[in-house]
Amino acid sequence: MDGILAYRIAAQGLAARDRTPAEVAGSFALQDSPRGAALTAVAARSDGAGELEAMLEARELVAVPNPRTAVAILPAADVGTYLAALQPPDEQALKTVFLRAVPGDYEASRERAVAAVGAALDGRVLSRDALHEELRGRLPAEMLPWCEPCQSHHARRGVLTVAALAGRLCYAGQEGRQPAFARTDQWTRLSPAATEPARAELARRYLHHLGPSTHGDLAAWAGVSIAHAKLLLKAVEDELVDVGGKAYLLADDLPLFEDPPPARGVRLLGAGDPLLAARDKERLIADKALRAKVWRPIGSPGVVLSDGRPVGTWRMRKRGRRLELETEWFGAAADVGAEAERLAALRGGGVYDAKP
């Protein structure tokens, strides 16, 4: 097995499933994009995955959009640190986060986005459609392009992400089939974090769970500019070792990197799993054709890990009242029965049908 893959499996708790949901979220790598990804990711690392929804409802965990516009789930106490670390430090970094959301003058657009979203959500929770309706009356026309699928003018996701990084927007559950939003500084106790310590903490957590890493891989994973990624790693430069190819690891993690414990058993990793989110995908699957099957532009499957090795892909689909597991193997099949039953129960299906 690739040594980097073995290290990441151990560092993320996949080798022993010994993490709590809060510890999984404390990696800064847990996301709920696509929806349901967080439950599957926690289930692969913790026996407490059934607590996830209750922890979100109790606001022990908080969900915010990250710069890649994925839904990041974090311990409430860590939200301020996470946002401070990812605040764009300059105009180029801000442009990277906005993407195509606004034309030019990114700093002025940031100010408008933060003010408009903050005012719209002040003291209330709004559904996605209700929030966009509010923003149509608060943002200039150039920040509200026409959306053909929606047949309306609305702010692009980059506008919401910039507001989220300023502590003005987080997820607040669902309203019907739509996500609901609240102001982060009102939804949870948002403690301001100093920029440099926050950058250092994000870099440590990223490298511990997804190291060794290059600047470029960190930038792509976080959705930030290369210059911003360099600032993040610079904040911990005295704690790093280069393990080859300008791939950096925390010196404190060298013993685990050099002698990771063996992984045992089967894990079902869903699309969006922290292990699959690493940008050096060849570390997980060396074969280019197999990588194309796993990481698709739309509708990626999950990956079956058996004793720490990727051995196939999986999907779980609802068929009436039952959940059906579809698998495609890279070679010999693994016994996924117990793991599939466990995940089906967490998803509310209780039982599943295996479909090779």
Domain 197-258 classified CATH 1.10.40? no
Q: What is the pLDDT of residues 164-218, one digit of tens each?
A: 999 999 999 999 999 999 999 999 999 889 999 999 999 999 999 999 999 999 9
* Rg (the chain; Cα; Å): 20
Give which of 282, 302, 280 is closest to 291, Cα–Cα.
282
Backbone angles phi, psi at 246, to 5 degrees: 55, 35
Backbone angles phi, psi at 229, to 5 degrees: -60, -40
What is the rounded CA–CA span in Å between residue 168 and residue 170? Answer: 7
Q: What is the pLDDT of residues 132-158, one digit of tens each?
A: 999 999 999 888 887 787 778 888 889
Query: Average per-residue pLDDT in the chain?
Result: 93
Give which of 325, 319, 318 is closest to 342, Cα–Cα.
325
The pLDDT score that the predictor gives to residue 355 is: 64
* Burial of residue 35 (number of CB atoms within 10 Å: 0-12, 13-18, 19+): exposed
Q: For the whole model, what pTM was predicted?
A: 0.94
| pLDDT at residue 100 greater than cutoff 80 | no
DSSP assignment, residue 1? -
Least confident interval from 100-114, 142-156, 311-325, 326-340: 142-156
Q: Where does the pLDDT of residue 1 fall: very low under 50, low under 70, confident under 90, or very high at 90 and above?
A: very low
Backbone region of residue 307 per phi and psi (left: phi > 0; alpha: psi in -120 to 50; beta: other values): left
The pLDDT score that the predictor gives to residue 226 is: 96
What is the rounded CA–CA span in Å between residue 4 and residue 1? Answer: 9
The pLDDT score that the predictor gives to residue 353 is: 63
Q: What is the pLDDT of residues 56-65, one digit of tens each?
A: 999 999 999 9
CB atoms within 10 A of CB 17: 16
Please state the rounded mean pLDDT for residues 255-265.
Answer: 95
Report, in this order, helix, strand and coil percent for the chain, each rounded to 5: 45, 20, 40
* Domain residue ranges of the chain, discontinuous segments joined by +: 3-187, 197-258, 285-355
Q: Sort strands 322-329 and 352-355 into parallel, antiparallel or unpaired.
A: parallel
DSSP assignment, residue 138? T
| pLDDT at residue 78 greater than cutoff 90 | yes
What is the rounded CA–CA span in Å between residue 43 and residue 305? Answer: 13
Q: What is the pLDDT of residues 32-51, one digit of tens each?
A: 999 999 999 999 999 999 99
Tokens (6 digits) for 316 = 């779980």
What letter represents residue 334's amino acid?
A
Per cent of the chain over pLDDT 70 is: 97
Give which of 24, 21, 41, 44 is closest to 33, Cα–Cα.
41
What is the rounded CA–CA span in Å between residue 99 and residue 1? Answer: 37
